[in-house]
């Protein structure tokens, strides 16, 4: 790990959606359930991310997941090693994953300090028996299946839902800024993973088997059009326009980005006007998933 005397930086950010179907389809040894594949275009998109990870050589991956929901503040995992069995409560028949991850607890502490210093409620999660949520695990697995890079799971504070969208998004902006400062103080090369699907309305009935791709399609044309509009804005680096339409997008498509991961990441990246790279788009049980990458600091590579 780099010395804390060296200023750290964010070398890339990824929009890294977490349908457990993608891990199920890959058949890694950690998942107890086996499949006949499926959702290849999205999994191939993640292969590009994995190639980037090899090239970027990050020292830590920070992941913000909507499936670790917290009511009081923003929480940072601060246990050196977290391991166990994670069964997805929604798709338990697809995802029963034995995970083991090393956590950058020092970075967690710095994130906590920076978050509280900008007036956010924050907390360190220090309970070693804590079960890591499937959103965190899926995004991390798809980016780095070797699990050989320390991570930092960050909770999704419930403020966008229990207060207002404006308050919630403002919190994520401040959390992103605090995260960036913490990374700089830690002196590490960091990758951010925003564990979010785009449009999130989905079918309530699964095909049999779930990987029957003849049944996979977008939930609605309106939802598809919204996803394309958002992706295109990101591809063109039109972040201000994106921020202006996000509330409507969230309302009309039940978009998971409402939980804050995308805003957190864009804020930490300094709301980059550089085009994001789209590695792939695909639907999973009708939801819209885009795998995207921001290389904002290529010179650091």
CA separation for the pair 209, 226 (Å, rounded): 29
CB of 209 to another protein, least distance (A): 15
CB of 13 to another protein, least distance (A): 25
Instruction: Give whichever of 65 and 144 is closer to another protein, judged by the CB atom.
Output: 65
CB of 105 to another protein, least distance (A): 15
Q: Which residues pair with 15 in a beta bridge?
A: 194, 292
Instruction: Give whichever of 73 and 176 is closer to another protein, judged by the CB atom.
Output: 73
Instruction: Give whichever of 149 and 151 is closer to another protein, judged by the CB atom.
Output: 151
Instruction: Give whichever of 132 and 296 is closer to another protein, judged by the CB atom.
Output: 132
Instruction: Give whichever of 163 and 274 is closer to another protein, judged by the CB atom.
Output: 163
| SS3 of the chain | CCCCCCCCEEEEEEECCCCHHHHHHHCCCCECCCCCCCCHHHHHHHHHHHHHHHHHCCCEEEEEEEEEEECCCEEEECCCEEEEEEECCCCCCCCEEEEEEEECHHHHHHHHHHHHHCCCCEEEECCCCCCCCHHHHHHHHHHCCCCCCCEEEEEEECHHHHCCHHHHHHHHHHHHHHHHHHHHHHCCEEEEEECCCCCCCCCCCCCCCCCCHHHCCCCCHHHHHHHHHHHHHHHCCCHHHHHHHHHHHHHHHCCHHHHCHHHHHHHHCCCCCCCCEEEEEEEECCEEEEEEEECCCHHHC
CB of 182 to another protein, least distance (A): 21
Instruction: Give whichever of 24 and 46 is closer to another protein, judged by the CB atom.
Output: 24
CB of 34 to another protein, least distance (A): 15
Instruction: Give whichever of 131 and 225 is closer to another protein, judged by the CB atom.
Output: 131
Question: What are the two backbone dihedrals, phi and then psi, of residue 65, each rounded to the nearest 5 degrees?
Answer: -120, 135
CB of 96 to another protein, least distance (A): 6
> Residue numbers of the site for another protein (CB under 8 A)?
68-73, 75, 84-87, 89-93, 96, 121, 123, 125-127, 129-131, 133, 155, 157-159, 162-163, 202, 204-206
Look at the block and give the residue holding tokens 């966008």. 160
CB of 272 to another protein, least distance (A): 30
């Amino acid at each position: 790990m780099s010395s804390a005397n060296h200023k750290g930086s964010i070398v890339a950010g990824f929009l890294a959606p977490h349908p457990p179907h993608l891990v199920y389809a890959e058949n890694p040894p950690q998942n107890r359930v086996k499949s006949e594949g499926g959702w290849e275009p999205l999994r191939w998109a993640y292969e590009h991310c994995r190639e980037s990870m090899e090239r970027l050589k990050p020292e830590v991956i920070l992941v913000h997941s909507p499936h670790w929901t917290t009511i009081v503040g923003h929480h940072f995992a601060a246990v050196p090693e977290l391991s166990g069995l994670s069964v997805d409560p929604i798709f338990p028949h697809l995802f029963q994953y034995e995970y083991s991850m090393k956590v950058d607890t020092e970075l967690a502490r710095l994130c906590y300090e920076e978050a509280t210093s900008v007036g956010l409620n924050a907390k360190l999660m220090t309970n070693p028996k804590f079960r890591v949520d499937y959103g965190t695990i899926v995004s991390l697995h798809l980016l780095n299946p070797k699990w050989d890079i320390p991570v930092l799971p960050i909770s999704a504070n419930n403020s966008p839902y229990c207060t207002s969208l404006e308050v919630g998004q403002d919190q994520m902006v401040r959390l992103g800024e605090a995260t960036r400062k913490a990374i700089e103080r830690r002196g590490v090369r960091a990758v951010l993973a925003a564990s979010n699907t785009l449009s999130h309305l989905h079918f309530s009935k699964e095909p049999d088997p779930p990987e029957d791709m003849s049944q996979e399609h977008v939930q609605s044309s309106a939802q598809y059009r919204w996803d394309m509009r958002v992706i295109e804005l990101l591809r063109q680096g039109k972040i201000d326009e994106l921020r202006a339409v996000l509330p409507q997008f969230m309302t009309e498509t039940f978009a998971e980005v409402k939980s804050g991961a995308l805003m957190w990441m864009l804020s930490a990246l300094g709301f980059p006007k550089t085009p994001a790279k789209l590695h792939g788009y695909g639907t999973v049980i009708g939801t819209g998933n885009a795998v995207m990458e921001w290389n904002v600091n290529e010179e650091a590579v």
